[in-house]
Amino acid sequence: MTKKILVIGLGKLGLPMATAYQEAGHYVWGYDIDSQASQKAREAGIGTVAIFDEEIQDLSSLSKVRAIDASLLIVPTPSRSNNMFDPSYVHEAIEKIAYALRGGSKYHLVVVKSTLMPGQMKEISEKLYTTSKRDERTLGVAYSPEFIALDDNIVRQMRDPNVVLIGAEDNESRERCLDLYHSVIDQEIRLYTKTTYHTMNFINAEIAKLALNVAITQKIAYANSIATLCESFVGGNVDKVLTLVGSDPRIGDKCLRAGTPFGGPCFPRDVRAMNALEELIDSLTFEGGKGTKLPSSAIEMLNEERYLELFSTLFNQLENTNSNKITILGLAYKSGSRFVDGSPARRIVDDLEREGVRVYGYDPRVTAFIGVDVKNDIDEAISASNVILVLNDERVFRRLPWHLYPQKTIVDPWRIVPAGPNVIQFGVAR
């Protein structure tokens, strides 16, 4: 049944979310404190379809908000200096919605989709009920964070998710949130793929969101550490080893590939947040803390080691070739994506710049990157320097006629360039 949906926060995820609900036949309204937000996101090529049925300029337009069936909140929760997420934007939006809902009687479901720290949802829910002066009979609230990779298929991921997580404290909220998912998930695609649904209370949902992302980073960090091991033995080959490990159904082969350190807008900050939380719990549980190394800190440490391995290899090659220029192929945080926030390239470029190294770059989906002379032709980028770093595994890099560049030194963490005397592959004996 067609519902009136309000998406609050029209950024990288909000705009595609609005698109997905609109594609599914709902009547979609949008709101953002920045009136240019949806335009900016569209210009960046995100969620290109969403042209709102109506874009609300002011959440205090009571009659409009009260007519809506569900509000989906997808506003930022930036990391604080202690690495925990700051829920202020969520509180700000909840307050506005709650005021607008005062006095109304039509059932309204609020779904918080932003990533929260464990324990934050309780306060948000209390604020919603207290400020709106409503109760569970006419107002529902759920925490249902997204597990989305920021690539060029965000809308598709929303209509065909692997995992749906719903945190709710009452049955009506839970069921209505489930109904929303059933309405937006593409029924034809679902004949071929399987979505798993998980409903639980707020606190478990908050922990589960972080726990899943941490588990993925753990697999990546583990794969990279096995790569380092394989490099130390004649005949070592990480792909052989991890193919065996991943074939065991207790482990699985997804995200079990050695390459660059993990990056992006979510993984590093989620691991840091979990680490901060573990340290806090440790210090509260044991006087002065146990001082042990906790799981998330080990993941961070392994990821950092991978960066250091990459740097030392690059600097050795710069020295060997007596050069101070590098070309990076792959500037986005992963292949298939145009997003550069937190990408491995960002960290590497910053460190290279500090050492006075000039950086050229190419990525089929990225046209600008601070500190990099980005070329829009791959040959031009490769010609610009003698040391080439292949930083993500875009298909176009796999298909390059690499044999045409025998004078270039190629550093290849993903092992996509055919082996040769000038190719330094990570994860195999060197």
**Closer residue to ligand NAD, CB minimum distance, 74 or 357:** 74
Q: Considering only residues 5, 75, 348, 391, which one is a binding residue for ligand NAD as defined by CB under 6 A?
A: 75
Site for ligand NAD in 239-278 (CB under 6 A): 265-266
Shortest Å distance, C-beta 59 to ligand NAD: 8
CA distance 293 to 298: 7
Site for ligand NAD in 134-153 (CB under 6 A): 145-146, 148, 150
Shortest Å distance, C-beta 298 to ligand NAD: 23
Report which residue's Cβ sits closest to ligand NAD.
11
Shortest Å distance, C-beta 402 to ligand NAD: 32
Residue 33 binds to ligand NAD (criterion: CB under 6 A):
yes
Q: Considering only residues 68, 74, 180, 331, which one is a binding residue for ligand NAD as defined by CB under 6 A?
A: 74
Shortest Å distance, C-beta 235 to ligand NAD: 39
**Closer residue to ligand NAD, CB minimum distance, 9 or 259:** 9
- Longest alpha-carbon distance in the chain: 74
Shortest Å distance, C-beta 158 to ligand NAD: 11
Give me the sign of the Cα torsion angle 282, 288, 293, 297: positive
Shortest Å distance, C-beta 291 to ligand NAD: 30
Shortest Å distance, C-beta 71 to ligand NAD: 10
Tokens 């949008």 correspond to what residue? 30
Q: Which part of the chain contacts ligand NAD (CB under 6 A), choosing from 19-27, 31-39, 279-287, 388-396?
A: 31-39
Residue 214 binds to ligand NAD (criterion: CB under 6 A):
no
**Closer residue to ligand NAD, CB minimum distance, 10 or 423:** 10
Count residues binding ligand NAD (CB under 6 A): 27
**Closer residue to ligand NAD, CB minimum distance, 39 or 320:** 39
CB atoms inside a 10 Å sphere around CB 50: 26
Site for ligand NAD in 10-29 (CB under 6 A): 10-14
Residue 47 binds to ligand NAD (criterion: CB under 6 A):
no
Q: Which part of the chain contacts ligand NAD (CB under 6 A), choosing from 8-16, 160-168, 364-372, 394-402?
A: 8-16
CA-closest candidate to residue 9, choices 45, 33, 41: 33
CA distance 6 to 311: 46
Cross-sheet strand order for the sheet of 325-329? 373-374, 358-362, 325-329, 387-390, 409-412, 423-425
Shortest Å distance, C-beta 35 to ligand NAD: 9
Which H or E element spans position 425? strand 423-425
CA distance 238 to 427: 5
Structure tokens of 163?
A: 């995992």
Q: Considering only residues 9, 30, 104, 268, which one is a binding residue for ligand NAD as defined by CB under 6 A?
A: 9
CA-closest candidate to residue 52, choices 76, 2, 17, 100: 17
**Closer residue to ligand NAD, CB minimum distance, 120 or 303:** 120
Q: In which region does residue 303 sit, left (phi positive, over 0), alpha (psi from -120 to 50) or beta (all else)?
A: alpha
Give me the sign of the Cα torsion angle 299, 302, 306, 311: positive
Classify residue 251 as exposed, middle or buried by CB count within 10 Å of its CB (0-12, 13-18, 19+).
middle
Provide DSSP, 258-309: --SPP-SSSHHHHHHHHHHHHHHHHHHHSTT---PPPHHHHHHHHHHHHHHH
Collapsing DSSP states into helix, strand and coil, what is residue 327? Answer: strand
In sequence order, the β-bridge partners of residue 387 are 326, 409
**Closer residue to ligand NAD, CB minimum distance, 156 or 408:** 156
Site for ligand NAD in 91-110 (CB under 6 A): 92-93
Residues 74/17, Cβ–Cβ less than 8 Å: yes
Residue 83 binds to ligand NAD (criterion: CB under 6 A):
no
Q: Considering only residues 89, 99, 311, 315, which one is a binding residue for ligand NAD as defined by CB under 6 A?
A: 89
CA distance 275 to 269: 10
**Closer residue to ligand NAD, CB minimum distance, 366 or 411:** 366
Shortest Å distance, C-beta 18 to ligand NAD: 11
Q: Which residues bind ligand NAD (CB under 6 A)?
A: 8-14, 31-34, 37, 74-77, 89, 92-93, 114-115, 145-146, 148, 150, 265-266
